[in-house]
Amino acid sequence: MATWTRRQVLAQMGLAAAAVHALDPHELCCTMAAHAQTADKDLFELKKIGDGVYGAIAHQRYKTNCNGAVILTDDGVIVVDTHSKPSASRALYSQIQELTKKPVIKVINTHFHFDHTQGNESYAATNSKVEIIATEQTKVNLTTPGSGVGGVSFVETQIKAMPAEIDKLKADIQKESDPAKKKNLESSLQQAESYLQELKSMKVTLPTRTVTTTTTLKENGREIQLHVLGRAHTNGDLFIYLPKEKVVATGDALIDWMPFMNDGYPEDWINTLTALEKLDFTSIVPGHGEVLPKSHVAFFRGYFVDLIAAVKKASADKATLAEMQTKIGDQLASRYEAAMSKYAVGRYRDLRIPWRRQPRS
Ligand SMILES: [Zn+2]
Ligand SMILES: [Zn+2]
C-alpha cells in the first residue's frame, strides 16, 4: 500500500478523531465525581517503579494534568513533564520534597502540549539554574503560533475560550437537579475559574537546552537516555529511557487512553512505536493513565495499524466521512473499546475536539 502523506491520512480520517470517536484528552471536564474534590496536595500518586524512580500518576481534574516521572540522582531531582498549570507542578514538587530535600535540577518536556509544559515556570522559581530540556522541534512548537494545543500563543487562546466554558458550567449548574452532580459541577466551576486566573499570570517558560538526536545524560549515579525516535503524537516527541532501571516515560506518544491525534502523525506513529519497542524496558510511565507493561506498546500501535487500514479500505470503497464515523468505531470496538475505556475519561467513545484546526501538510 502506498504511503500516504500526513495530510491525506488526516483528511481521509476526517480526521480519525471524528471517524472513531477519538477524544481530546486535553479538554476533559465536568463529571469528575470524587476526584473533583481532591485537594491540591493529592493531585498525584507517586508510584515507585525502581530505586529512586517514580511515576507521578495524575488524578483527574477539570483541566487535565499529565503524569510526571520523578528521577532522583545524587545531585538533585529530574522531573519529566509539568502538567497544565504551575499550581499542579508546585503540588508535585511538595510531594517530591517528602522524598528528598535536594533541588529539582532538570525538567524534561516530552512534547509541547499545554498539559505537559505549563507548569515549567514553577521549577524555574524553585531553582534559577534549573535546566529545561526538550527537542528543538518542541521549542519551535512552543514559540510558533498555531502549532497546536500548547505554547505561548495557546495560553491566549485558552484565556479567550475560558469565559464561555465558565458560562456553560454556570448554566449547567442552574439546570442540574441531582445534588451530587450539582456539587461536581460546582467543583468544576471553581477549578475552571482558578485555572483562568492562573492562565492570566502564566509565564510560559521555554526549554533552556534542546536536543535533535538521541542524547545520554550522565547524571551523578544515574544514566538517562533521551531518545528522538521520529514523529508520533507530535513532530517533536522525546522519550526518556533509564536503561538500568528498564523504565521509559513516553509522554502522549503512548497513553492508557484513546490517543489524541490532532497534532499527530498516525503513519509515522507506528514506526516510532516500533523503534521504542526495540529498547529494553519493562515499565512505561505513559502521558496519561497508570504505569503500563511493555506489552502495551504493541497493543497501542495495533490501534493505529488497524485504524489506518480501516480508513483506507473505507475510502477505497467510496464510503463517505459520515459513514466512516459511524462504522469504523464499531468495527474496531471488539479489539480496542474495553482496553481504551478503563478510566472515567479518555474513553473509546468519547468525542471532544476543541480548538480543532486544519491539518498541516
Ligand atoms: Zn497530555
Ligand atoms: Zn499531548
Cell numbers found for residue 204: 510560559
What is the reported pLDDT for 322? 86
Instruction: Give the Å distance between the CA of 238 and the centre of ligand 1.
Output: 13
What is the reported pLDDT for 351? 61
What is the reported pLDDT for 220? 86
Distance (Å, rounded) from C-alpha 158 to C-alpha 23?
18
Residues whose Cβ atom is located within 5 A of ion ligand 1: 66, 115, 252, 287
Distance (Å, rounded) from C-alpha 6 to C-alpha 11?
8
Instruction: Give the Å distance between the CA of 213 and the centre of ligand 1.
Output: 23
The dihedrals phi and psi of 159, each to the nearest 5 degrees, come to: -60, -40
Instruction: Give the Å distance between the CA of 303 and the centre of ligand 2.
Output: 17
Instruction: Give the Å distance between the CA of 233 and the centre of ligand 2.
Output: 7
Ligand of minimum distance to the alpha carbon of 263: 2
Instruction: Give the Å distance between the CA of 177 and the centre of ligand 2.
Output: 35
Ligand of minimum distance to the alpha carbon of 83: 1
For the chain, list the strands marked E by DSSP: 44-50, 53-58, 68-72, 77-80, 104-108, 131-135, 209-211, 215-219, 222-227, 239-242, 247-251, 283-286, 292-293
Taking 70 as the pLDDT cut, the residues of the chain under it are 1-41, 351-361
Read out DSSP for 196-239? HHHHHT------SEEESS-EEEEETTEEEEEE----SSSTT--E
Instruction: Give the Å distance between the CA of 234 and the centre of ligand 2.
Output: 8
Beta-carbon-side half-sphere exposure of residue 86 (alpha carbons within 13 Å): 17
Instruction: Give the Å distance between the CA of 225 and the centre of ligand 1.
Output: 21
What is the reported pLDDT for 350? 81
Instruction: Give the Å distance between the CA of 78 and the centre of ligand 1.
Output: 19
Ligand of minimum distance to the alpha carbon of 113: 2
Ligand of minimum distance to the alpha carbon of 147: 2
Instruction: Give the Å distance between the CA of 113 and the centre of ligand 2.
Output: 5
Instruction: Give the Å distance between the CA of 45 and the centre of ligand 1.
Output: 17
- pTM of the model as a whole: 0.89
What is the reported pLDDT for 41? 61
Ligand of minimum distance to the alpha carbon of 257: 1
Instruction: Tell me the Ramachandran region of residue 249: left when phi exceeds 0, alpha when psi lies from -120 to 50, beta otherwise.
Output: beta
Instruction: Give the Å distance between the CA of 214 and the centre of ligand 1.
Output: 22
Cell numbers found for residue 174: 442552574
Instruction: Give the Å distance between the CA of 281 and the centre of ligand 2.
Output: 22
What is the reported pLDDT for 39? 56
> For residue range 336-361, what is the model confidence (pLDDT) as tens digits?
999 999 998 889 988 644 333 434 43
